[in-house]
């Protein structure tokens, strides 16, 4: 199973669209995917482990350095370039080109 890949696509969502072209990280269970979008932040997407299909983010399903698209604000998260969900699945880590590392707690699925 691929657990990290680089992709570029557009995710339709209510109130606007997130244009992706960055990093993708998938939780160990395969049920959640995290995608960097544009230069803004990280999206949280539902993923079907059987098919790999992604569905749009739920309300509050993104983090950004500013309040883009209604995302929660995350200081230091400017143009994230890489993501990691470690095997314990308790956090998501995003790395920005200015060497900032942002850590987000997540519910283990």
Banded model confidence at residue 9, pLDDT cuts 50, 70, 90: very low
Residue 91 has pLDDT above 90, yes or no: yes
Mean of pLDDT values over 10-17: 50
Mean of pLDDT values over 88-104: 88
Residue 54 has pLDDT above 50, yes or no: yes
Residue 6 has pLDDT above 70, yes or no: no
Banded model confidence at residue 84, pLDDT cuts 50, 70, 90: very high
Query: What is the overall mean pLDDT for the chain?
Result: 77
Mean of pLDDT values over 78-98: 89
Report pTM.
Answer: 0.78
Residue 16 has pLDDT above 70, yes or no: no
Q: How far is CA 103 from CA 17, 25, 48, 57, 66, in A?
A: 24, 14, 24, 19, 16
Nearest to 34 by CA among 20, 24, 46: 24
21, 8 Cβ separation under 8 angstroms: yes
């Amino acid at each position: 199973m691929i657990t990290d890949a680089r992709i570029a696509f557009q995710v339709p969502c209510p109130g606007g669209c997130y244009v992706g072209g960055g990093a993708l990280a998938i939780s160990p269970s395969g049920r959640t995917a995290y995608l960097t979008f544009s230069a803004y932040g990280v999206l949280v997407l539902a993923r079907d482990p059987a098919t790999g299909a992604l569905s749009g983010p739920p309300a509050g399903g993104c983090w950004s350095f500013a309040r883009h698209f209604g995302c929660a604000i995350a200081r230091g998260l400017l143009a994230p370039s890489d993501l990691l969900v470690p095997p314990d699945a308790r956090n998501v880590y995003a790395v920005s080109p200015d060497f900032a590392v942002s850590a987000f707690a997540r519910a283990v699925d």
